[in-house]
Amino acid sequence: MGSKIGEFVIRERVGAGGMGVVYRAEHPLIGKHAAIKVMRAELVSPEQEQRLLVEARAVNAIRHPGVLDIFNFGTLPDCRPYVVMELLQGQSLADRMREQGRMDVGTTAWVLEQVLAALAAAHRAGVVHRDLKPANVFLMEQPDGAPLIKLVDFGIAKVMQEHDALARADGSTVGTPDFMAPEQVRGGEVGPAADLYALGVMAFHMLTGTRPFQGDNVQVMFAHVEQIPPRVSTRVEGIPPELDELVARLMEKEPAKRPATATDVRMKLRALARPPVSAEPDAPPPSSVESRAVPAATVPAGRRNGVSLAVTAVAGVALMGVGYWWGAQAREAEPVQVIAPSRPSEQVMVDARPTPPVELPPVMVPQEPAEAPPEVVEEEAQAETATATLAKSTKLPPLPAETPSEKKMEQRQAGLFKLLLARAKDVDAEGALRGRLLQQYRAAADAKTDAERTRIHVALDDIEKELTQRIALHDAPPAPVVAVVAPPVAPRVPALVIPKLPTLPQSNASEQKLAQRMDKLVVELRTRTQNQDVAPELTKQLVEIFTEAAKAQTATERMTVHQALDAWQERLTARFPR
């Protein structure tokens, strides 16, 4: 932590995978946040470095807002390569599906349509993803609350013009077995149709809550090549016939029988697509502010802000003035859609439903009007934009306010300046927050695209969070003395006792694999329950599956046991997530 990579300073570790470790980093001058993925030292090799470089090249060849942006590549002094990319706030589609189970038709079609937009751009640029799956689809939060789907991890992408030179050097198959097209399993030529097959498997999984083929990796790969996948309508009722037929076509064994392009599929889904459920438009304005700290996959669950509940409440009151001031004006009557957990930065957030502009609360007004700074924006200046009035005293250029995105940025900057200047003597006597806000103001004046303004909003989130916390700390009354009450003693849970299990046959490789898996699941049950008898029904089910496994004599019977284990393991992980 604190070390510098390129122009960015490492702030915290936010995640890790099989290939590398991801850190949150910040530009020390302009406050821009980024994610930096550093390859694990034990994996460094010319092949793996090439894979990381492929990802950077593939993403920059696509240049689409629905694809994770990578804007730098380099090597550390110890020879570990790294990439610098945009920092996403939210959760993966895989995490969402684990929480929610199967999705309704409208939401599924909407998510797939967004994925197809990015996929179509990739295919036009000559890039095949080759590892499309829910874990590589990210539901990204935006400052205005509208969702944005991001396609990530092009680490094994194939640039079609390079004749598959970007696959593994030994020619072995790469991808995730559950979502691999038959031609990919065979090691044949992989084109855009392979991505559409994976999309069909994703659609089946989203609509039914299960994948079309179950078993270990080898069994699933053989099933993709040889078995006809079931129809979605055989698993779930109420599926529109046209969607049922489309998913079946996407999972055709022959690439030529699948839809021709991602755009064709997207056009068919548009009539069914419906964004996630949003807030009721006529709901009353919130009477309080909720300080959320829901950890995404990138934030350790134990980390929390140290502000007390009383302080948080005062911070909420202070934030409502500026939050509603610019939020109510920037948004139209359409309600904000909420699809993902709050930002890992844990800022205090306002549920900004449409509401008339409100007056600033008393805590935001100086106690003595005569001492108010001359830079404060006067509310009577209706003939020009708020930042144009502000520019007269700061000598900064007024921000553009032509498009909705520009208006939102202009109003938010003005609102933050107004709040900061009104309370400068209380919370920013040294001028540090003002300096940071001025940096973002200049960046907003030069911003040309919505993507640039989105990054500025992320930096403003941090400034707004710190400002409201300082106001809360300044204005909060002394905390009352609370008597310490000993927590109640938790009831004692008996230790987990697993009855004697039958001995499983291990005369061939298939039987050995099943026996090894059964043993691992016993260990996993003990680990997840902390060796306590808190799920007797799961223990009983595992014993019953053991009994069936001991009787299994054919490959078909063992396949049935594997399927039962898949279902049991899903119930175990859903009840006892790590």
Burial label for 369, CB within 10 Å (0-12, 13-18, 19+), is exposed
Handedness of CA 432, 434, 439, 444 (dihedral sign): positive
CA distance 276 to 91: 15
DSSP state of 378: P
- Strand (E) or helix (H) holding 359: none
The one catalytic residue in 69, 95, 104, 131 is 131
Decide if 131 is catalytic.
Answer: yes
SS percent in the chain: helix, strand, coil, step 5: 45, 10, 45
- Report the DSSP pairing between strands 127-128 and 148-151: unpaired
CA distance 111 to 203: 9
Handedness of CA 75, 76, 82, 84 (dihedral sign): negative
Tell me phi and psi for residue 174, to 5 degrees: -125, 150
426: Cα within 13 Å, side-chain hemisphere: 23
What is the signed CA dihedral for 540, 541, 545, 550, rounded to 10 degrees?
10
Task: Give the E-state strand segments of 336-388 in sequence order.
Answer: none
Considering only CA atoms, which of 149, 162, 25 is closest in space to residue 87? 25
Distances (CA, A) of 102 to 195, 232, 460, 530: 21, 12, 36, 29
3-state SS assignment for residue 35: strand
For the chain, give the longest Cα–Cα distance: 91
3-state SS assignment for residue 148: strand
Tell me phi and psi for residue 348, to 5 degrees: -70, 130
Residue 210 tokens read as 């299960």
CA distance 41 to 435: 39
> In the 3-class helix/strand/coil scheme, how is 100-129 assigned residue by residue?
HCCCCHHHHHHHHHHHHHHHHHHHHCCEEC
CB 73 within 8 A of CB 56: yes
CA distance 423 to 419: 6
Strand order in the sheet with 8-16: 4-5, 8-16, 20-26, 33-39, 81-85, 70-75
3-state SS assignment for residue 467: helix
534: Cα within 13 Å, side-chain hemisphere: 14
CA distance 103 to 97: 8
Q: Catalytic positions, please?
A: 131
